[in-house]
């Protein structure tokens, strides 16, 4: 039969608690800024390059927090489109009567 947890077992180490706090804090700031690292660094009162180092250390990607604002559409980023809105690989003519 396992022995009941002792109070000291329920308290994480300082390093674990610090890491959990940093992860929660950074994710909260990135959610607020919609993944804008420059704004997030300003809020955290850290230099932008130091904030990037913190993101790498915590294995957090700012891109995961970027989303369109209300009323904005997500931009397609799969491949460039021509001004007409169709990609260059369209296998048929879209002009009337086959005019090219």
Write the pLDDT tens digit of every residue in 4-51.
Answer: 666 777 899 999 999 999 999 999 999 999 999 999 999 999 999 999
Query: Residues near 51 by Cβ (< 8 Å), separated by ≥ 6?
Result: 37, 40, 41, 44
**Residue bearing tokens 């804090």:** 25
**In-domain check, residue 73:** no
**In-domain check, residue 17:** yes
**In-domain check, residue 2:** no
Which pLDDT value is given to residue 88? 47
**Total count of domains within the chain:** 1
**In-domain check, residue 7:** no
**In-domain check, residue 52:** yes
**Range(s) of the domain holding residue 52:** 13-65
pTM tops 0.75, yes or no:
no
């Amino acid at each position: 039969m396992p022995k009941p947890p002792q109070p000291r077992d329920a308290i994480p180490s300082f390093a674990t608690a610090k890491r959990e706090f940093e992860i929660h804090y950074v994710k909260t700031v990135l959610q607020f800024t919609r993944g804008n690292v420059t704004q997030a660094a300003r809020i955290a009162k850290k230099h932008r390059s130091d904030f990037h180092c913190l993101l790498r250390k915590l294995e957090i990607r700012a891109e995961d927090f970027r989303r369109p604002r209300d009323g904005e559409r997500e931009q397609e980023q799969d491949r460039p489109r021509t001004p007409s809105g169709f990609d260059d690989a369209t296998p048929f003519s879209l002009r009337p009567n086959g005019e090219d």
